[in-house]
Amino acid sequence: MAWTWRFEKADGTEVPPAVEPEEFTTQGDAESWVGEAWKELLEGGAEQVTLFEDGAKIYGPMSLRADES
């Protein structure tokens, strides 16, 4: 099984990631990575991410912006 992220602008347009991810073997590894890299990803133009397992959407889009409320 391969876990991958799709990086998007707020309107859902795909953008290249500022930090190149690996292909993850577990959901936890993928989530840990995005938890560590989210600031760089956001600064590089990605505003949200979607997680896939072997091409099937698991969840998302999930905003990379901190809750401002």
Question: Does a structural domain hold residue 21?
Answer: no
Q: What share of the chain is helix, strand, coil (3-state, %, to 5)?
A: 25, 30, 45
Instruction: Dig out the tokens for 69 from the structure.
Output: 């409320």
More confident residue, 69 or 1: 1
Which residues constitute the domain of residue 39? 1-6+26-69
Question: Does a structural domain hold residue 20?
Answer: no
Question: Does a structural domain hold residue 12?
Answer: no
Question: Does a structural domain hold residue 14?
Answer: no
Question: Who contacts 56 (Cβ-Cβ below 8 Å, separation ≥6)?
Answer: none
Q: What pLDDT is attached to residue 69? A: 43
Q: pLDDT tens-digit profile of 10-63? A: 999 999 999 999 889 999 999 999 999 999 999 999 999 999 999 999 999 999
Within a 13 Å sphere around the CA of 17, how many CA atoms are in the beta-carbon half?
A: 19
Q: What pLDDT is attached to residue 67? A: 66
